[in-house]
Amino acid sequence: MERKQKIIQIYAVVICVIAVITILITLSSLVSSYIDKSDPLAVTIYSNSNQASLASFENFKMDILKSTQKDQAYIPDNKTIQKMYDEAKSAKIKMVEHRANRDITVSAIIMVIALILLASHFWLIKKMKIVEVQK
């Protein structure tokens, strides 16, 4: 009987350690997602290296003009480039915010599950110690 209690205690301690590690990892993911959400244009992880720079309109314009060839029939004017810049900027912000919201939601769910496991197994450890003291 005592061997069974030791196995249960070891199991509970292992689950608590795993839950704490999971909480730390998801906390890191939550912080990273909140930082990404606060400044979506600074996020470079989702960017294509062939994309024009969205740092400023002037950078975007230079990248667009560099990508056009001199003998090309159509070279966009400033108004068109400004519209392209605004649309590209809006699309990037929406994409980063969507991914950040998704990561925040998933991390929060995992953290809640880990907290429930931690609390329930911590309670199990306390219960086993109370039983052990009574003997």
Q: How far apart are CA 22 and CA 45, in angstroms?
A: 23
Q: Is the pLDDT of residue 24 over 90?
A: yes
Place of tokens 């196995």: 7
Span 51-81, pLDDT tens digits = 777 878 888 888 887 877 666 667 788 899 8
Q: What is the pTM of this model?
A: 0.74
Q: How far apart are CA 90 and CA 60, in angstroms?
A: 14
Q: Is the pLDDT of residue 43 over 90?
A: no
Axis-axis angle for helices 78-134, 2-38 (nearest 10): 160
Q: How far apart are CA 35 and CA 28, in angstroms?
A: 11
Say what the pLDDT of residue 49 is: 61
The residue among 124 and 114 whose pLDDT is bigger is: 114
Query: Residue 127 CA to chain centroid, in angstroms?
Result: 37
Which run of H or of E encompasses 24? helix 2-38
Say what the pLDDT of residue 30 is: 95
% of the chain residues with pLDDT over 70: 87
4-13, 49-58, 115-124: range with lowest mean pLDDT = 49-58
Would you state the structure tokens that stand for residue 73, as one six-digit string? 């029939």
Q: How far apart are CA 36 and CA 28, in angstroms?
A: 12
Mean pLDDT of the chain: 85
Residue 75 dihedral angles phi and psi, to the nearest 5°: -115, 120
